[in-house]
């Protein structure tokens, strides 16, 4: 809904509220402003709206509206509108004024506290928001689930992973959130954060416990699988590490470039490079990521020398032309070429290399943010697991 439509709806709500107040026989307080004043205020507000000055319009409407049971929802809507327009201080004032009203109905008190908590989060006053939300949570009313959602946001911002996991688990116990993939992915990452902390302290057992918890939230979590593979590898369990890395390849094939390094190390330790070469050769035909070709070219060089690698690359590039593959081919061929051509080819190789290095290798599938580094949470849209390797990275 565009903002004009919101204002028009608000205006209608305000007029309805005014009409109710005007024509309902409710004993009025002594200091109540005359209805003529209020009506004049509505026209001033309307005038601001028509002149495209929504902030002034909102102020005037708030001034015109007395808080009573008929206008509470309108106040809540105006407060939320103020916050969305970046006027967090004013939103806080509106919501605090509502809360200060004696005898506020429990349902409204709950929704007002939730709104005030969102104001506090927007203003960076996280401890105040946390206190309000915990109160709502403790009361166990219908607002409990919203409170939990906002608490997860707060604990994630504060990097209080234990509490973030606790609130996520509580949310996921509700049938309507159970299948929320984003919630599950985020919870798995909180466990990974803890696992990484334990790994930094060399506490493999505790890290494994967190990874197990991460898998309970999201078995296909790439980060948890990479961590587990790393632990298995450092413990000398190379076969288990390969199994976990292969699982990533099956569930999230776009992450292949992150798997090649550890896979090569594990097969090396098992002294079974032919098996590794077989694996790469099998996946090559359907693999869009050029890093597999480079890894294979390297394996062929080690096994049968550079001539064999040149032949392999030539054969591959005629079927699937790629700049990265071409640079590798040039690198192998330059040494064997005519000295007159050598410096030109060297220059060409350097230029293509430079061109390729400038390209981003990862992209957020949610907001399109491009980066050279892999972030589990997108720095732009703050979503987990949305940044993925660009499959054609390095290709022309
Ligand atoms: Zn993003």
Grade residue 30 by pLDDT with cuts at 50, 70 and 90: very low
Rounded distance from Cα 22 to ligand 1 centre (Å): 50
Question: Which of 35-44, 84-93, 292-301, 379-388 has the weakest average pLDDT?
Answer: 35-44
pLDDT at 32 over 80: no
**Alpha-carbon gap, residue 224 to 184, rounded angstroms:** 13
Rounded distance from Cα 384 to ligand 1 centre (Å): 8
The tens digit of pLDDT for each residue in 66-103 reads: 666 677 788 888 888 889 888 898 889 889 888 888 87
Rounded distance from Cα 378 to ligand 1 centre (Å): 5
What are the contacts of 197-204 at 24+ separation with CB within 8 A?
199/227, 199/230, 199/231, 204/231, 204/234, 204/235
Q: Which pTM does this prediction carry?
A: 0.80
Q: Which residues neighbour 392 within 8 Å (Cβ) at sequence distance 6 or greater?
A: 288, 290
> Is the model more confident about 380 or about 336?
380
> What is residue 105's predicted lDDT score, i.e. its pLDDT?
83
Rounded distance from Cα 182 to ligand 1 centre (Å): 13
Strand, coil or helix: 281: helix
Rounded distance from Cα 377 to ligand 1 centre (Å): 8
pLDDT at 3 over 60: no
Rounded distance from Cα 193 to ligand 1 centre (Å): 19
Rounded distance from Cα 230 to ligand 1 centre (Å): 27
Rounded distance from Cα 216 to ligand 1 centre (Å): 25
Rounded distance from Cα 188 to ligand 1 centre (Å): 18
> What is residue 65's predicted lDDT score, i.e. its pLDDT?
63
**Alpha-carbon gap, residue 25 to 7, rounded angstroms:** 28
Q: What would the mean pLDDT of 262-283 be, rounded to a whole number?
A: 96
Rounded distance from Cα 385 to ligand 1 centre (Å): 9
């Amino acid at each position: 809904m565009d903002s004009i439509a919101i204002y028009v709806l608000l205006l209608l709500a305000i007029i309805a509220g005014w009409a109710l107040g005007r024509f309902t026989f409710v004993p009025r307080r002594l200091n109540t402003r005359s209805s003529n004043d209020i009506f004049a205020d509505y026209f001033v507000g309307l005038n601001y709206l028509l002149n495209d000055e929504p902030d002034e319009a909102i102020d005037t409407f708030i001034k015109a509206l007395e808080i009573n049971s008929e206008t509470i929802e309108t106040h809540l809507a105006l407060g939320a509108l103020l916050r969305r327009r970046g006027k967090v201080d004013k939103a806080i004032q509106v919501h605090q004024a509502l809360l200060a009203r004696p005898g506020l109905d429990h349902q409204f008190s709950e929704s007002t506290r939730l709104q005030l908590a969102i104001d506090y989060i927007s203003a960076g006053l996280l401890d105040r928001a946390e206190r309000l939300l915990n109160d709502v949570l403790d009361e166990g009313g219908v607002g409990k689930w919203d409170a939990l959602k906002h608490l997860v946001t707060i604990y994630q911002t504060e990097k209080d992973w234990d509490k973030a996991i606790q609130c996520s688990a509580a949310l996921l116990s509700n049938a309507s959130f159970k299948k929320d993939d984003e919630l599950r992915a985020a919870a798995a990452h909180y466990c990974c954060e803890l696992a990484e902390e334990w790994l930094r302290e060399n506490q493999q057992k505790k890290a494994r416990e967190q990874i197990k918890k991460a898998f309970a939230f999201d078995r296909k979590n790439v980060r948890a699988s990479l961590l587990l593979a790393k632990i298995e590898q450092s413990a000398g369990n190379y076969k288990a590490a390969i199994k976990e890395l292969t699982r990533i390849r099956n569930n999230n094939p776009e992450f292949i470039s992150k798997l090649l390094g550890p896979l090569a190390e594990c097969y090396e330790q098992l002294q079974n490079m032919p098996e590794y070469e077989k694996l790469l050769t099998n996946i090559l035909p359907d693999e869009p990521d050029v890093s597999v070709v480079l890894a294979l070219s390297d394996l062929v060089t080690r096994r049968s020398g550079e001539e064999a690698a040149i032949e392999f690359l030539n054969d591959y590039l005629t079927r699937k032309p790629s700049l990265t593959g071409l640079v590798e081919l040039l690198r192998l061929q330059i040494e064997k070429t005519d000295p007159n051509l050598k410096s030109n080819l060297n220059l060409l190789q350097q230029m293509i290399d430079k061109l390729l290095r400038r390209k981003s290798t990862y992209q957020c599938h949610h907001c399109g943010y491009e980066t050279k580094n892999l972030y589990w949470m997108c720095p732009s849209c703050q979503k987990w697991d949305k940044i993925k390797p660009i499959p054609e990275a390095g290709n022309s």
